[in-house]
Each structure stands twice: as C-alpha cells, then as structure tokens.
Structure 1
Amino acid sequence: MNPDNMTQRTLSSPSAGARALRMRRRLERLIGIAATEGNALVALRNGDEIFPAMLESVRSAEYTVDMMTFVYWRGDIARQFAQALAERARAGVRVRLLLDGFGSRTIEKGLLKDMREAGVHVAWFRQPVALSPLKQNHRCHRKALLVDEQVAFTGGVGIAEEWCGDARNEREWRDTHVEVRGPAVDGVAAAFAQNWAECSGELFDGHDRFGEHRPQGDAVVQVVRGSAGFGWQDMQTLMQVMIESAEERFRLTTAYFSPDAYFIELLCRASRRGVEVEILLPGPYTDKRVCQLAGQHFYEDLLACGVKIYQYQPTMLHAKVITVDGTAALIGSTNFNRRSLEHDEEVMLVVLDEEFTATLDTHFDEDVAVSEQIRGGRWGRRSLLQRARETAVLPIRRFL
C-alpha cells in the first residue's frame, strides 16, 4: 500500500497526515524497522479494564500463549493469571511464561509449582545469583502477552495486586496498557522471541502457525525494541525523533523521570521553539523516591524553559505514554529514565492514528485534572534539605 494514500485515509487533517508521514519515514530510516498498516488498538486504563481483557484472551487461547513480564508478585490477580495459564496448558495449548530474574523474584513459589506441573514452560531472564555484576544491571523490563498469534497486549502493567482497581486510592496504581490486533502483533512477538531465545533453546514448535495477518483497523504501528547493552540505543533514537518532530505539543507521562542532561536540553529546545511541552509524573505516592529526586534536580531548568510539570496526586502513576501533535503516540514499557533508555530490554509501540492519540490525550487531561502543577517561583524556594537530597542521588542517576 502506498504510504501517501494510507496517510490520507488514516488522518483527517492534511497537515496531520504530512506530519505523520514525515515521522514515519524518519523512524523507519533511523531505526531500521518498517511500520505496518491495518492495525486496531484499544487503550486500556487501569486494572479494572486491563486484567479482564488479558485474562479473557488467555482463557480463549486455542494454540499458543506467550507471556513475559518484569513484575509478577503476589495477590489474587497473580493467582488468577497462574490458574488461567495452567488451565490452558492442561488443555493442550502451548504456554510459555518468561519472568525477569530480579523483578519477579518474589512470586509465590506455589504458583510456579502449579504452573510447571500443568505444563507451562517457565523461564527466568538473568537470575542474579548466576550472573556477573554487569549482566545483573541489564534487566528484561518488557511486558507482553500474545495469544494465538492474533492479539497482543503491552504497556506498563505488572502482575500484582498494586495494579488492581481503577486508581481510586493510593492502593490502586494508575497505568495504561494497549490491546493490539493486526500485523503489529508480529513486532511484539519478536520482542518475546528475542528474550526467550536467551533463556530457552526452543524458539518455536508445532503449535506455531505463522499465518498472515488480515487488516483489523486503520492504525499505522511501528514496534521498537530496546535491548540491554552499552552505547546509544534505539529507545534513545526513538525519544529524540519524537521530541524533535513535535511542532505544536509534546506530552510525556512516565513513572520514572531521570534522564541525562542531553534529553533535558532536547525538551527545553522544543519548548523554546514554541512547542507546548507537558510532563506528568508521580506525586506523593511514588514507589521510588530516589528516582523522583533525581528527576527533580532538573525541574528548575525545565520550568525556566517554559515546560509544564505536573505531579499526579491520587496514587502511584505507572503509565508510560507520549503523544505528539495529536497525531502520534508512544505506548509501552519504557520510562523516561536512563535505566529504560540505556540499560533494560524494552518495547514501545509508535502509533500513527488520530483517534487513538486523542484517547490518550483525553486520559492525560483527566489525569492532569487531579494533579498538582509545579510552579517555578515556589519550586525555586524549596528547602536546602530538598536540594541536598537531589544532589545526593546524582552519582547513581544512571542506574535509576
């Protein structure tokens, strides 16, 4: 399909279509991953929407279930997923579960035993006890669920009781996941396969069908995988292109904000050229205060450039979402911190679709309505103790 024709059909505004096409070609050329057309996406907000959709998909599986997660902790939802995976394995479905060796270390051992006895193939990504210190720092932070090669889920959610509910109080975290159907499912599947290959010798078996994808919608999607390692990563290229492509508005929602000075300057340059830059971050219920302090070190610089910063008040904000000019969106597992951008295995969807982006922008507006804006004058008068705490964490910022 001709990209120019596709863009005009998918995006209602000619200017929006031109912007999306420019962004698509920049990302395809600079990252080297082709975008796919004919995708359908559903934005899922908080556990009350996310977990039922994922569990329903698992329970309907006929051939394969592949699941990977950084966090698999405890609680009723952890048991529900274990039971659903075990039931499908007993029914003859090929079920594979990949757990990060650090993030999922507190999983109930009884759940592991039950799943393995039912026939679930459980593998661990880089268990710390057997690793060198360098490898221990590079984790699998990807979250993906793939069912029958036809539907994929990815985003920020872990399998634990903290994500249950609808962000109604500090015990129910705020997060966003996305359901994907169409050719982009293959990109998420490749992210799973890349990490499964490190942990298991068998990449595929007779359950895999490798069928073609029929068009499911109008969204154009590029799946970008960040890999643990050294040097400049695809995730950094992705973020740079999105920031520098913004012409009117750049919105960032992230659970952990502690980039290096280079990305702070990219955000400031965008604001100085007239882009409305808005950043939504966790507030009083952050689960990682040290990471919050590292990001707060840059608040003065950002505020001086005209960047708007908000702190979410009701509960822990764990979503990882970016929208640009109402035409493009990023959603997946990557935070705007050095750990995600430089060290960990991540996966992000670049979505070129006005309707989907508008949904995420609506979520942003609703979240800002219950957030507190950081004001430059007041922030400049913060205490010496606060400043000292910000400075104290700078030596470890690259690991946060």
Structure 2
Amino acid sequence: MTSTQESSEVTPPALAVRGSSSVEERVTRIRRRLERLIGIAATEGNSLTVLRNGDEIFAAMLAGIHRAEHTVDMMTFVYWKGDIARRFAEALAERARAGVRVRLLLDGFGSRLIEAEQLRTMERAGVQVTWFRKPLHLSPLKQNHRCHRKVLVVDEETAFTGGVGIAEEWCGDARNPHEWRDTHVEVRGPAVDGIAAAFAQNWAECHEDLFDDRDRFVEHRPQGESVVQVVRGSASFGWQDMQTLIRVMLDSAEERFRLATAYFSPDAYFVELLCATARRGVEVEILLPGPYTDKRVCQLAGQHYYEDLVACGVKIYQYQPTMMHAKVVTVDHVAALIGSTNFNRRSLDHDEEVMLAVLDQEFTATLDRHFDADLEVSELIRAGRWKRRSAVQRVREVAVRPIRRFL
C-alpha cells in the first residue's frame, strides 16, 4: 500500500522549467480556477492513500467493510463473477446481519453478469440492493446513460473511489494479462462528504428513502494535508463539469501533463486542446492500453488521432503487460485527478462519473512514480512507424468513426 506519507522520500523535480510561477502560485491558480469554473469548493485537511492494483485495492476495501459499525454505501458499474465477487457479497451480508445498514447500488447494464446466488445471499441478510436504470425498463434515451461511478463509503468517515470494478479481472498485481492494472484511492476527511454525495445522487433516483436514522451526518476533523475537490459528472446535454475539469487541467499545465486512461476516444476539440498544450512547450504524455484491451472498438477510435497527436509533440505509450484500466491525470508535480472518468466521449458526455481533483505534491509524486514504472513496460508510438501502419488498420479506424460518440 502506498500513501502520501510513504511517498515523502520522493522529491518532485524542479518546477522552474518555464520559470513562470512558484509551486504555491500554481496550486492557488489551479484551485481557484476549479472552484470558480466548476462551482464546488475544495476541502482541506484530507488524507489520501493511493492503492495500486487489486491486491492492495480489494484488501483495503474489504477491511473497510469489515470495520463498519453503522453504515456501508457502495455503488459500482461492474459487479461480475468469481471469488472476489463472492467475497464482497459475503462481507456486505455479514455486516448487514450484524445490524449495519448496507446499501448496494448496481448499474443495470454493467452489473448484469452478477451471479443470482450472490444477490440472494445479500438480500437475505438485509442488504438493500438497488439497480440503476435497468435496460428494457427505460426509454432508449436513458439506456445510453449509465452509472459509471465506483464508490464505497464506510461509516461516513472513510471513502474509496477510482477505476476498479468487482470482478476477477482486477485481482492480483498486474503480473500477467489476467490481472488488470488499475488505481484506486482511500479518502479520509471532509472530501468524504463529496464522495458520499455522488452515491446519494444516484441512490435518490432509484430509491424513495434518501437517508434514515442510521445516518449520523458526522463532522469531519482534519486527517491530513491534501486539498481535494470532488467533481461529479452527470449525463445530460451540453458542456459538462468533467469536460471543464479536464480543460482546466490542460490549460493550467506549465511543464507537464500526464494522462493514463483505459478508454481514449476524444472528440476533435479535445484532440486540438492536447495538441495546443504540447505546442506551447508542455510535455504531454498519454498512457493507454496496448495489445490487451476489452474494448478494441474504442481503441481503434482513439488510434485514428495518433498521427495528429504525435505530430504535435504528444507522446503516446501503449502498456504491454495487461489491460491498462487506470484513470489518472497529473499536472506539474502539484495536482492530480483520479476517479472513474475515462478520456472518451462516453465518460465526458453520457455517463455518471466522479473524480477527485487533488492538490498535494506528495500524492502527485506517488502517482507520477507509478506512471514512470508503467512507462518502463510500455511502447512509445513513433511517428514514422505509425504512418506506415497497414491499410487494414486504417480502414478499421475509419469504420468506427460513426459510433465514436457512444464509445
């Protein structure tokens, strides 16, 4: 397990590459831009722990559930099959039998593969299981807008969010193609309220009781030094908060912008924004899935832009060992984004998402160190070689263009 405290030995590189502002000025500028343009105040006094891959993530989440004394609220897009799915079902059921109020919100599409026996185990124990927008029960318009948020809140005091779903694919430590690479974060402090609000927003759509006498509405005492803004993206029409969040980070970068994402299928606007960021002298690095991806169509849609991006100076890397599923951004060694949002049209336009905007050098240094480790086992897309890609590859890229907005 890697925490912001454990990363204190990592000294971020000097921030004077462009010489335009100090660390404090950069932090203040990014914070005020985010607060002003998104309209959500950042909270101070948070403690964040980075969790890398399933071995760390699932252990921490299950430990949190087992410690629960009052409430457990959990929502996920993916809840599939296997031993880890059974362990979560049993942990939630055990807490419900012990008198803890346990609520589980499952996306009606993403969690459709959950085993019926696991549902029966939880429901018999008293877990309140609710489905978000089950297909066939909705208009075609609503069926396209899914709940992609991953949230676990324990006793209103500890929260988890990130990219992980409840399935065997995320188990392990990214040692082989069967163990996906992902990042989650454990949060303590005032930011827990924002994460809990993401759960409450989707729960309110599906359940008549928003809260009950088990909710204590606790006051949060300072737990650490991280400044955190919790940003929720909701499905609707027009410009979304997630788009604003990404744009602020790109426009604020002075030295380096790093992006790790499972699904890369931006529109032309964001492709040009990435290029503009690189052209003004910022080092732009993008880490994407390579040979292992569960959505080849989405990968093809993103690959259509590789040539333009590389020509602008953007560095694109493809992760080789397994599926890269993390959703992480770091900016100038001082700011980071982490949560459920991918850099694709589906996350930015269609789905319910949640992201943490974090201002903390040590936390960002930990994520940057993980990014560096991932680059060591990734392949750089080289301009000349990519231009010589096969005609079949080019035809596939063009073929998926009509459906890019749904990917």
TM over 0.5: yes
Q: Which runs of 4+ in 1 moved over 6 A?
A: 11-14
Task: Report how far residue 391 of structure 1 moved.
Answer: 0.3
1:51 and 2:58 correspond: yes
Report the Cα distance in structure 1 between the residues aligned to 2:242 and 2:84, rounded to whole angstroms. 31
Residue in structure 2 matched with residue 363 of structure 1 by the alignment: 370
1:229 Cα deviation after fit: 1.1
Report the equivalent of 1:70: 77
Pick from 310, 316, 337: which aligns with 1:303?
310
Separation in 2 of the partners of 1:279 and 1:359? 17
**Partner AA of 1:245 in structure 2:** S
Aligned residues: 390
- Residue 3 of structure 1: aligned partner: none
The CA distance in 2 between the partners of 1:383 and 1:158, in whole Å, is: 35
Structure 2, unmatched stretches of 5+, are 1-11, 16-20
TM-score when scaled to structure 2?
A: 0.95
Q: How does 1:228-239 map to 2 (within 5 A)?
A: 228-239=235-246
- Partners of 1:65 and 1:322 in 2: how far apart? 29
Name the % identity.
Answer: 79
Match of 1:242 in 2: 249
Aligned equivalents of 1:262, 1:33: Cα separation in 2: 25
CA deviation after TM superposition for structure 1 residue 97, in Å: 0.1
1:16 shift after superposition: 1.2
**Where does residue 108 of structure 2 map in the other structure?**
101
Residues 72-111 of structure 1, C-alpha deviations (whole Å, 9 max, x = no match)? 0000000000000000000000000000000000100111
Residue in structure 2 matched with residue 187 of structure 1 by the alignment: 194
Partner SS, residue 61 of structure 2: helix
1:313 counterpart = 2:320: yes
Structure 1 residue aligned with 2:285: 278
Q: Distance in 2 between matches of 1:69 and 1:20?
A: 32
In the alignment, the residues of structure 1 paired with residue 361 and residue 399 of structure 2 have an alpha-carbon distance, to the nearest angstrom, of 43
User: Which one of 202, 207, 211 corresponds to residue 200 of structure 1?
Assistant: 207
The alpha-carbon deviation at position 370 of structure 1 amounts to: 0.1
Q: TM-score, normalised by structure 1?
A: 0.97
Residues 1:143 and 2:150 are matched in the alignment: yes
Q: Helix, strand or coil for the counterpart of 2:284?
A: strand
1:62 partner letter? E
In structure 2, give the amino acid aligned to 1:183.
P
User: In structure 2, what is the Cα distance between the partners aligned to 1:151 and 1:271?
Assistant: 38
Equivalent residue for 2:331, pick from 297, 320, 324: 324
Structure 2 partner of 1:19? 26
Distance 1:338 1:153 in 2: 25
**Structure 1 residue 333 corresponds to structure 2 residue 344:** no
Per-residue CA deviations over 1:34-64 (Å, capped at 9, x if unaligned) read 0000000000000010000000000010000
Please state whether the residue corresponding to 1:203 is helix, strand or coil.
coil
Residues 1:394 and 2:394 are matched in the alignment: no
Deviations 1:248-272 (A, max 9, x none): 0000000000010000000000000
In 2, Cα distance between equivalents of 1:135 and 1:279: 32
Tell me which residue corresponds to 1:261. Answer: 268
Aligned partners of 1:179 and 1:211: how far apart in 2? 18
Letter in 2 for 1:248: E
